[in-house]
Structure 1
Amino acid sequence: MFDTPVDTWYTWLGLALAGTAMVGTALSFPATAAPDATSVADTVDGVAASEYATTAEHPLDATMIRLGPRRVSLRNDGGTAHAAFAFGPVAPIRPDSKLEAVLYGAAPERTFESRRAFTQALVEAQTTEPTWRPVDRTLVVRRVQWGEQNATLVGA
Protein backbone atom coordinates (compact mmCIF):
# COMPACT_ATOMS: atom_id res chain seq x y z
CA MET A 1 0.00 0.00 0.00
CA PHE A 2 2.82 2.44 0.82
CA ASP A 3 5.30 0.96 -1.67
CA THR A 4 6.50 2.89 -4.69
CA PRO A 5 5.66 1.09 -7.88
CA VAL A 6 8.94 0.05 -9.48
CA ASP A 7 7.52 0.13 -12.97
CA THR A 8 7.05 3.92 -12.99
CA TRP A 9 9.43 5.94 -15.14
CA TYR A 10 10.24 8.64 -12.55
CA THR A 11 11.54 5.99 -10.10
CA TRP A 12 14.04 4.75 -12.65
CA LEU A 13 15.00 8.28 -13.62
CA GLY A 14 15.62 9.19 -9.97
CA LEU A 15 17.77 6.09 -9.43
CA ALA A 16 19.79 6.86 -12.56
CA LEU A 17 20.43 10.46 -11.47
CA ALA A 18 21.41 9.38 -7.95
CA GLY A 19 23.80 6.76 -9.32
CA THR A 20 25.37 9.27 -11.71
CA ALA A 21 25.85 11.76 -8.87
CA MET A 22 27.55 9.14 -6.68
CA VAL A 23 29.91 8.04 -9.47
CA GLY A 24 30.78 11.69 -10.20
CA THR A 25 31.50 12.35 -6.54
CA ALA A 26 33.71 9.27 -6.24
CA LEU A 27 35.69 10.21 -9.34
CA SER A 28 36.28 13.76 -8.09
CA PHE A 29 38.38 12.62 -5.09
CA PRO A 30 42.16 12.87 -5.62
CA ALA A 31 43.96 9.59 -6.21
CA THR A 32 46.76 10.47 -3.76
CA ALA A 33 46.94 12.30 -0.48
CA ALA A 34 48.43 15.78 -0.19
CA PRO A 35 52.13 15.72 0.74
CA ASP A 36 53.20 15.90 4.39
CA ALA A 37 54.98 19.23 4.79
CA THR A 38 54.85 19.08 8.60
CA SER A 39 57.14 16.05 8.79
CA VAL A 40 59.58 17.78 6.43
CA ALA A 41 59.60 20.87 8.68
CA ASP A 42 60.12 18.64 11.73
CA THR A 43 63.20 17.08 10.11
CA VAL A 44 64.62 20.52 9.28
CA ASP A 45 63.90 21.75 12.81
CA GLY A 46 65.57 18.69 14.32
CA VAL A 47 68.79 19.46 12.49
CA ALA A 48 68.58 23.24 13.00
CA ALA A 49 68.09 22.83 16.76
CA SER A 50 71.15 20.61 17.11
CA GLU A 51 74.27 22.00 18.77
CA TYR A 52 76.54 19.91 16.57
CA ALA A 53 77.17 19.43 12.87
CA THR A 54 74.37 17.12 11.78
CA THR A 55 72.94 15.75 8.55
CA ALA A 56 69.51 14.27 7.90
CA GLU A 57 67.52 13.08 4.91
CA HIS A 58 63.76 12.99 4.47
CA PRO A 59 61.96 11.19 1.62
CA LEU A 60 59.53 13.44 -0.24
CA ASP A 61 56.07 12.39 -1.44
CA ALA A 62 55.77 15.46 -3.65
CA THR A 63 56.50 16.35 -7.26
CA MET A 64 57.26 20.04 -6.61
CA ILE A 65 58.89 21.89 -3.72
CA ARG A 66 59.26 25.53 -2.72
CA LEU A 67 61.87 26.12 -0.03
CA GLY A 68 62.12 29.42 1.76
CA PRO A 69 64.21 30.51 4.73
CA ARG A 70 61.23 30.16 7.11
CA ARG A 71 58.83 27.68 5.44
CA VAL A 72 58.46 24.79 3.01
CA SER A 73 55.69 24.09 0.51
CA LEU A 74 55.10 20.76 -1.21
CA ARG A 75 52.79 19.94 -4.12
CA ASN A 76 51.57 16.76 -5.79
CA ASP A 77 48.39 15.53 -7.51
CA GLY A 78 46.64 15.41 -4.12
CA GLY A 79 47.16 19.09 -3.37
CA THR A 80 49.57 21.55 -1.78
CA ALA A 81 50.80 21.61 1.82
CA HIS A 82 52.77 24.25 3.72
CA ALA A 83 54.69 24.22 7.01
CA ALA A 84 56.81 26.77 8.85
CA PHE A 85 60.18 26.10 10.46
CA ALA A 86 60.36 26.67 14.20
CA PHE A 87 64.15 27.11 14.09
CA GLY A 88 65.14 29.42 11.30
CA PRO A 89 66.03 30.98 9.10
CA VAL A 90 67.58 28.19 7.07
CA ALA A 91 69.51 28.50 3.84
CA PRO A 92 67.57 26.98 0.90
CA ILE A 93 70.15 25.65 -1.53
CA ARG A 94 69.85 26.11 -5.29
CA PRO A 95 71.21 23.41 -7.59
CA ASP A 96 74.72 23.86 -8.99
CA SER A 97 75.89 26.27 -6.30
CA LYS A 98 78.91 26.08 -4.03
CA LEU A 99 76.54 25.67 -1.10
CA GLU A 100 75.13 22.55 -2.74
CA ALA A 101 78.58 20.97 -2.52
CA VAL A 102 78.66 21.82 1.19
CA LEU A 103 75.15 20.42 1.63
CA TYR A 104 76.29 17.07 0.24
CA GLY A 105 79.37 16.79 2.44
CA ALA A 106 82.14 19.13 1.28
CA ALA A 107 83.83 21.20 3.97
CA PRO A 108 82.98 24.91 3.72
CA GLU A 109 86.62 25.93 4.20
CA ARG A 110 87.60 23.85 1.15
CA THR A 111 84.72 25.07 -1.00
CA PHE A 112 84.86 28.83 -0.28
CA GLU A 113 87.84 31.16 -0.49
CA SER A 114 87.03 32.86 2.82
CA ARG A 115 84.54 32.99 5.66
CA ARG A 116 83.22 36.20 4.18
CA ALA A 117 82.44 34.45 0.85
CA PHE A 118 80.68 31.68 2.77
CA THR A 119 78.63 34.21 4.74
CA GLN A 120 77.75 36.10 1.55
CA ALA A 121 76.56 32.88 -0.12
CA LEU A 122 74.36 32.15 2.92
CA VAL A 123 72.86 35.65 2.83
CA GLU A 124 72.10 35.29 -0.89
CA ALA A 125 70.49 31.88 -0.31
CA GLN A 126 68.29 33.28 2.46
CA THR A 127 67.21 36.38 0.55
CA THR A 128 66.48 34.80 -2.84
CA GLU A 129 62.74 34.60 -3.57
CA PRO A 130 61.56 30.98 -3.30
CA THR A 131 60.22 29.36 -6.47
CA TRP A 132 58.58 26.04 -7.26
CA ARG A 133 61.09 23.43 -8.42
CA PRO A 134 60.62 19.78 -9.39
CA VAL A 135 61.66 17.20 -6.81
CA ASP A 136 64.18 14.70 -8.09
CA ARG A 137 65.53 13.28 -4.82
CA THR A 138 65.06 13.30 -1.08
CA LEU A 139 65.32 16.41 1.06
CA VAL A 140 68.77 16.80 2.62
CA VAL A 141 69.42 18.98 5.67
CA ARG A 142 72.89 19.75 7.02
CA ARG A 143 74.02 21.96 9.87
CA VAL A 144 77.52 23.34 9.34
CA GLN A 145 79.80 25.67 11.23
CA TRP A 146 82.79 27.62 10.07
CA GLY A 147 84.24 29.84 12.72
CA GLU A 148 81.43 31.86 14.27
CA GLN A 149 79.07 31.22 11.34
CA ASN A 150 76.45 28.52 11.94
CA ALA A 151 74.09 27.58 9.13
CA THR A 152 71.39 25.06 8.35
CA LEU A 153 71.47 24.15 4.67
CA VAL A 154 68.36 22.60 3.07
CA GLY A 155 68.07 21.24 -0.45
CA ALA A 156 66.07 18.75 -2.49
Structure 2
Amino acid sequence: MFGVPVDAWYTWLGLSIASVALVGVAAALPTAPPPAAADVAGTVDRTAATAHPATAEHPLDARAIRVEPGGIGLRNDAGTTHATFAFGPVTPAAGIDSLTAVLRGAPPGSRFDSGDALCTAAGTARERNSRWRSAEGPLIVRHVVWEGCDVTLVG
Protein backbone atom coordinates (compact mmCIF):
# COMPACT_ATOMS: atom_id res chain seq x y z
CA MET A 1 0.00 0.00 0.00
CA PHE A 2 2.83 2.41 0.75
CA GLY A 3 5.08 1.07 -2.04
CA VAL A 4 6.06 2.81 -5.25
CA PRO A 5 3.45 2.47 -8.00
CA VAL A 6 4.41 0.36 -10.98
CA ASP A 7 4.12 3.28 -13.47
CA ALA A 8 6.36 5.71 -11.48
CA TRP A 9 9.28 5.31 -13.87
CA TYR A 10 7.01 6.46 -16.73
CA THR A 11 6.28 9.62 -14.79
CA TRP A 12 9.96 10.17 -14.05
CA LEU A 13 10.88 9.68 -17.72
CA GLY A 14 8.15 12.08 -18.87
CA LEU A 15 9.22 14.77 -16.43
CA SER A 16 12.86 14.36 -17.48
CA ILE A 17 12.03 14.82 -21.15
CA ALA A 18 9.85 17.84 -20.37
CA SER A 19 12.65 19.38 -18.28
CA VAL A 20 15.22 18.93 -21.05
CA ALA A 21 12.82 20.52 -23.55
CA LEU A 22 12.19 23.46 -21.22
CA VAL A 23 15.92 24.04 -20.73
CA GLY A 24 16.38 23.98 -24.52
CA VAL A 25 13.66 26.59 -25.02
CA ALA A 26 15.09 28.81 -22.28
CA ALA A 27 18.59 28.61 -23.78
CA ALA A 28 17.27 29.67 -27.18
CA LEU A 29 15.62 32.85 -25.87
CA PRO A 30 17.51 36.08 -26.67
CA THR A 31 19.39 37.66 -23.79
CA ALA A 32 18.82 41.25 -24.97
CA PRO A 33 15.87 43.07 -26.52
CA PRO A 34 15.80 43.87 -30.25
CA PRO A 35 17.34 47.23 -31.19
CA ALA A 36 15.16 50.33 -30.85
CA ALA A 37 14.83 51.60 -34.42
CA ALA A 38 12.11 54.11 -33.47
CA ASP A 39 14.49 55.91 -31.09
CA VAL A 40 17.13 56.16 -33.83
CA ALA A 41 14.55 57.42 -36.32
CA GLY A 42 13.51 60.07 -33.80
CA THR A 43 17.09 61.36 -33.61
CA VAL A 44 17.27 61.52 -37.41
CA ASP A 45 13.91 63.31 -37.60
CA ARG A 46 14.87 65.92 -34.99
CA THR A 47 18.07 66.70 -36.88
CA ALA A 48 16.42 66.74 -40.31
CA ALA A 49 13.60 69.00 -39.13
CA THR A 50 15.87 71.88 -38.16
CA ALA A 51 16.16 74.86 -40.46
CA HIS A 52 19.83 75.31 -39.61
CA PRO A 53 22.89 73.08 -39.89
CA ALA A 54 22.94 70.53 -37.08
CA THR A 55 24.71 67.34 -36.04
CA ALA A 56 23.55 64.53 -33.76
CA GLU A 57 24.79 61.14 -32.62
CA HIS A 58 22.80 58.19 -31.37
CA PRO A 59 24.37 55.11 -29.75
CA LEU A 60 23.46 51.86 -31.46
CA ASP A 61 22.65 48.56 -29.78
CA ALA A 62 22.69 46.74 -33.10
CA ARG A 63 25.18 44.64 -35.00
CA ALA A 64 23.98 45.71 -38.45
CA ILE A 65 22.26 48.79 -39.87
CA ARG A 66 20.51 49.62 -43.13
CA VAL A 67 19.78 53.27 -43.89
CA GLU A 68 17.31 54.08 -46.64
CA PRO A 69 16.00 57.49 -47.72
CA GLY A 70 12.67 56.82 -46.00
CA GLY A 71 13.62 54.68 -43.02
CA ILE A 72 16.13 52.67 -41.04
CA GLY A 73 16.58 49.03 -40.12
CA LEU A 74 18.56 47.68 -37.16
CA ARG A 75 19.49 44.08 -36.49
CA ASN A 76 21.06 42.18 -33.56
CA ASP A 77 20.86 38.65 -32.16
CA ALA A 78 17.42 39.34 -30.67
CA GLY A 79 15.82 40.39 -33.95
CA THR A 80 15.37 43.05 -36.60
CA THR A 81 13.39 46.27 -36.27
CA HIS A 82 12.50 48.98 -38.77
CA ALA A 83 11.25 52.56 -38.48
CA THR A 84 10.31 55.22 -41.00
CA PHE A 85 11.39 58.85 -41.00
CA ALA A 86 8.84 61.62 -40.66
CA PHE A 87 11.23 64.14 -42.25
CA GLY A 88 12.92 62.91 -45.36
CA PRO A 89 14.24 61.79 -47.58
CA VAL A 90 17.59 61.49 -45.88
CA THR A 91 20.86 60.61 -47.60
CA PRO A 92 22.72 57.43 -46.66
CA ALA A 93 26.35 58.55 -46.70
CA ALA A 94 28.05 55.15 -46.31
CA GLY A 95 30.09 54.06 -49.28
CA ILE A 96 30.69 57.52 -50.77
CA ASP A 97 33.91 59.01 -49.41
CA SER A 98 33.05 62.67 -50.02
CA LEU A 99 29.64 62.40 -48.32
CA THR A 100 31.12 60.39 -45.45
CA ALA A 101 33.75 63.09 -44.91
CA VAL A 102 31.07 65.80 -44.76
CA LEU A 103 29.01 63.62 -42.42
CA ARG A 104 32.00 63.35 -40.08
CA GLY A 105 32.48 67.13 -39.96
CA ALA A 106 34.43 68.22 -43.06
CA PRO A 107 33.20 71.50 -44.54
CA PRO A 108 31.19 70.82 -47.71
CA GLY A 109 33.42 73.24 -49.65
CA SER A 110 36.44 71.02 -48.98
CA ARG A 111 34.85 68.06 -50.79
CA PHE A 112 32.49 69.64 -53.34
CA ASP A 113 32.88 72.46 -55.84
CA SER A 114 29.37 73.80 -55.32
CA GLY A 115 26.07 73.21 -53.63
CA ASP A 116 24.78 71.68 -56.86
CA ALA A 117 27.59 69.09 -56.75
CA LEU A 118 26.65 68.23 -53.16
CA CYS A 119 22.98 67.88 -54.08
CA THR A 120 23.87 65.71 -57.10
CA ALA A 121 26.02 63.41 -54.95
CA ALA A 122 23.25 63.20 -52.35
CA GLY A 123 20.69 62.35 -55.03
CA THR A 124 22.94 59.61 -56.40
CA ALA A 125 23.39 58.19 -52.89
CA ARG A 126 19.62 58.11 -52.33
CA GLU A 127 19.07 56.17 -55.58
CA ARG A 128 21.51 53.37 -54.68
CA ASN A 129 20.17 50.12 -53.30
CA SER A 130 20.72 50.08 -49.57
CA ARG A 131 22.33 47.07 -47.93
CA TRP A 132 23.03 45.87 -44.41
CA ARG A 133 26.31 47.22 -43.04
CA SER A 134 28.17 46.51 -39.84
CA ALA A 135 27.19 48.96 -37.09
CA GLU A 136 30.46 50.34 -35.78
CA GLY A 137 30.10 53.13 -33.27
CA PRO A 138 27.18 55.53 -32.95
CA LEU A 139 24.89 56.64 -35.75
CA ILE A 140 25.86 60.12 -36.96
CA VAL A 141 23.33 62.51 -38.49
CA ARG A 142 24.30 65.83 -40.05
CA HIS A 143 21.94 68.36 -41.57
CA VAL A 144 23.88 70.47 -44.09
CA VAL A 145 22.67 73.73 -45.61
CA TRP A 146 25.23 75.03 -48.12
CA GLU A 147 24.93 77.15 -51.28
CA GLY A 148 21.27 76.32 -51.81
CA CYS A 149 21.64 72.62 -51.04
CA ASP A 150 19.77 71.31 -48.01
CA VAL A 151 20.54 67.64 -47.22
CA THR A 152 20.51 65.38 -44.19
CA LEU A 153 23.35 62.87 -44.18
CA VAL A 154 23.09 59.67 -42.13
CA GLY A 155 25.80 57.09 -41.49
TM-score by length of 2: 0.91
Confirm whether residue 46 of structure 1 aligns to residue 42 of structure 2: no
Confirm whether residue 67 of structure 1 aligns to residue 67 of structure 2: yes
Give the partner amino acid of 2:15. L
Q: What is the aligned partner in structure 1 of residue 143 from structure 2?
A: 143
Give the partner amino acid of 1:145. V
Q: What is the aligned partner in structure 1 of residue 30 from structure 2?
A: 30
Q: What is the aligned partner in structure 1 of residue 107 from structure 2?
A: 107
> 1:110: Cα distance to partner?
2.6
Distance of aligned partners of 1:90 and 1:96 in 2 relative to their CA distance in 1, 3 Å threshold: closer
> 1:107: Cα distance to partner?
1.5
| Distance (Å, rounded) in 2 between the aligned partners of 1:54 and 1:147 | 16
In the TM superposition, structure 1's runs of 4+ consecutive aligned residues that sit over 3 Å from their partners are: 4-7
Identity of aligned residues (%): 49
Unaligned runs of 5+ in 2: none
Give the partner amino acid of 1:87. F
Unaligned runs of 5+ in 1: none
| Distance (Å, rounded) in 2 between the aligned partners of 1:6 and 1:60 | 59
Identify the range of structure 1 (6-15 vs 36-45) with the bigger mean alpha-carbon deviation: 6-15
> 1:6: Cα distance to partner?
8.8
| Distance (Å, rounded) in 1 between the aligned partners of 2:39 and 2:77 | 19
| Distance (Å, rounded) in 1 between the aligned partners of 2:141 and 2:74 | 16
Give the partner amino acid of 2:121. A
TM-align CA RMSD = 1.8
Q: What is the aligned partner in structure 2 of residue 82 from structure 1?
A: 82
| Distance (Å, rounded) in 2 between the aligned partners of 1:147 and 1:112 | 11
Identify the range of structure 1 (95-104 vs 72-81) with the bigger mean alpha-carbon deviation: 95-104
Q: What is the aligned partner in structure 1 of residue 57 from structure 2?
A: 57
Distance of aligned partners of 1:76 and 1:6 in 2 relative to their CA distance in 1, 3 Å threshold: farther
> 1:52: Cα distance to partner?
1.3
> 1:25: Cα distance to partner?
1.4
Deviations along 1:82-112, one digit per CA (max 9) or x if unpaired, are: 1111110000002451111111111212320
> 1:66: Cα distance to partner?
0.7
Give the partner amino acid of 1:115. G
> 1:28: Cα distance to partner?
1.6
The question of whether the paired residues in 1 share the 8 Å contact of 2:143 and 2:152 is answered with yes
Confirm whether residue 121 of structure 1 aligns to residue 121 of structure 2: yes
Deviations along 1:64-95, one digit per CA (max 9) or x if unpaired, are: 11111011111111111111111100000024
| Distance (Å, rounded) in 2 between the aligned partners of 1:40 and 1:92 | 14
